[in-house]
Amino acid sequence: MHPRPSPHGFTCGLTGCGKTGVWVVKADASAPSAPNVLAQVDPDATDYRFPVCVVDGISAVNVTLSVRFKPVSGAVDQAAGLVWRYKDVNNYYIVRANAHENNVTLYKVEGGKRISLALQRPAALRRRGRHFYRSRRGRSLDQG
């Protein structure tokens, strides 16, 4: 069985083990971005499995990133996040919100291994030049 192609304008892959994952653009009238959302719909329950999907052709400096996600299913994880400094599926940064654990974790993925850099309750992430800043309610938490 061949993996499904990525949705147009995205590159999808897998960090860790298991199936690559199935990503689709589908209608969801309840979404802030209605009528469509990007959804990972593969029910693979493999441990240490992190399907990733990134937008093609973006290069940005001095940006503020935000995302809303709706966990729909998942016994192992119900998580989503923002990826940046993406080189390939084994080298990038991600801030990941996990609905099962009620937390947000900042990771550096290097050589396919996730390194936890910080664990917080929901916060904003800003980039200025080569530095990243996390904040909550407008107050700076740290920089990296």
Distance CA 122, CA 104 (A): 6
Enumerate residues 6+ apart whose C-beta is below 8 A from 2. Answer: none
Task: List the domain boundaries for the chain.
Answer: 10-143
Whole-number pLDDT of residue 141 = 45
Per-residue pLDDT tens digits for 2-47 = 556 788 999 999 999 988 889 999 999 888 877 889 888 888 888 8
Per-residue pLDDT tens digits for 62-94 = 888 777 888 787 777 788 899 999 999 999 999
Per-residue pLDDT tens digits for 87-139 = 999 999 998 888 888 788 899 999 999 999 876 655 566 666 665 555 655 54
Whole-number pLDDT of residue 127 = 60
Residue 85 neighbours by CB distance under 10 Å: 12
| pTM to 2 decimal places | 0.76
Backbone angles phi and psi of 89, in degrees to 5: -65, -10
Whole-number pLDDT of residue 132 = 56
Is 143's pLDDT higher than 50? Answer: no
